Amino acid sequence: MPAQPPTRISFRARIVRAITGAYLRRIDAATADVHVARRRWHAVARIMWTAWRVRLEYGEIQGLRVAWLTPKRSAPGKLLLYLHGGAYIMGDCTTHRQLASHIARYAGVRALLPEYRLAPEYKFPAAVDDAVGLYRALLADGYLAEDIVIAGDSAGGGLTMATLLSLRDAGDPLPAAACLLSPWLDLAATGETMISNANRDPWFKAEDLPIVAKYYCKDEQMQHPLVSPVYADLSGLPPLYIQVGGDEILLSDSTRAADKVGAGGGEVDIEIWPGMWHVFQLFVHLMPESRRANRRLGAFVRRMLVADATSEP
């Protein structure tokens, strides 16, 4: 991988952090209307377009709406399957096509962005079933497991891990690797950074997370291994690459998972970005840190999938 993340925070990042934090910290999770929040985010996301020279096409697989993101120069037969975040209650092709398209462009491979079923209309395990079913459909359509990398941010990162665990336990061929961006891996919110980063996280309050989690699953399911993969056996997984912000309350979700993968003999590379917050990679047009993180994600995907990974896509 390239050099480690920078320790100094750019002026642009400070501005984005202040503006987004001022907005999100005002939201009361206990009284917020999920459907209103979903409509607002999906509407605002319409201005977030794809990366330069990446073609966007919509389709359907297994009854799910999907977006295909194809860079002008892409390695044939290689695929990045990107599972969007949004706390399992929001997010779609529009909200994440910009992020996924930049990673795909840097990787030089095609990306697929599906719209899995959302809570509270569809609770656990609907999202997991959708992701697993779509992956199997790709294999049935001719893709090879070793030619696929799965990635996801926040809840999409948790869904990526749940998908890997489900495939492993069912005996399906596993993808070449996986990327996790600020993954939400403990819906029970037991990590120590829920406390230690409480005053540093510009976006989230620890007391809000269990409220949001209840839209997705029942109380007794909070520590189910496919809901909160930090409680799962994490052995036998493909190589993992994790990017997480140093100031987010979900930081220990990533560090605990990385420790557990490593202890089980797995390959994991975790980067903690100082001063960054939850899924800072989204702001690729606004901050140099986001662009740098996207390039590093693309480099990892390319290294996992493309034989001549040293050449430019």
Tokens representing residue 258 in the block: 């990385």
- Which candidate in 154, 182, 228, 254 is catalytic? 154
**Per-residue pLDDT tens over the stretch 211-242:** 999 999 999 999 999 999 999 999 999 999 99
Can you give the residue ranges of every domain in the chain? Answer: 11-305
> What is the rounded distance in angstroms from the CA atom of residue 153 to the CA atom of residue 217?
19
Q: What was the pLDDT predicted at 6?
A: 66
Distance from C-alpha of 142 to C-alpha of 312, rounded to nearest angstrom? 26
H/E stretch holding 241: strand 240-245
Sign of the CA dihedral running 160, 277, 243, 82: positive
For residue 38, what pLDDT band results from cuts at 50, 70 and 90? very high
Active site residue: 96, 102, 224, 278, which one? 278
**Confidence (pLDDT) at 159:** 98
Helix (H, G, I), strand (E, B) or coil at 48: coil
Which position has the token pair 């390239």?
2
248 among known catalytic residues = yes
Of 14-18, 43-47, 213-217, 222-226, minimum mean pLDDT range: 43-47
Half-sphere exposure of 300 (CA within 13 A, CB side): 27
278 in helix, strand or coil? coil
Q: What is the pLDDT of residues 127-154, one digit of tens each?
A: 999 999 999 999 999 999 999 999 999 9
Q: What is the pLDDT of residues 165-186, one digit of tens each?
A: 999 999 999 999 999 999 999 9
Query: What is the reported pTM?
Result: 0.95
Q: How far apart are CA 12 and CA 146, in angstroms?
A: 38
Average pLDDT over residues 245-250: 98
- Strands 64-71 and 110-114, bridge-based pairing: antiparallel
Tell me the pLDDT band of 2, cut-offs 50, 70 and 90.
Answer: very low
pLDDT band at residue 307 under the 50/70/90 scheme: confident
Predicted confidence (pLDDT) per residue in 107-119, tens digit: 999 999 999 999 9
Identify the CATH number of the domain defined by range 11-305. Answer: 3.40.50.1820
pLDDT tens column, 75-130: 999 999 999 999 999 999 999 999 999 999 999 999 999 999 999 999 999 999 99
List 248, 252, 289, 290, catalytic entry = 248
Mean pLDDT of the chain: 95
Q: Comparing C-alpha atoms, which of 203, 182, 283, 198 is closest to residue 21?
A: 203
Residue 285 has pLDDT above 50, yes or no: yes
Q: Of 139, 118, 140, 256, which is closest to residue 189 (Cα–Cα)?
A: 256
- Cβ-in-10-Å burial (0-12, 13-18, 19+) of 145 comes to middle
3-class SS of residue 238: coil
Residue 8: the pLDDT is: 82
8 A C-beta contact, residue 92 and residue 115 = yes
With pLDDT > 70 as the criterion, what percentage of the chain qualifies? Answer: 96
Pairing of strands 79-83, 64-71: unpaired
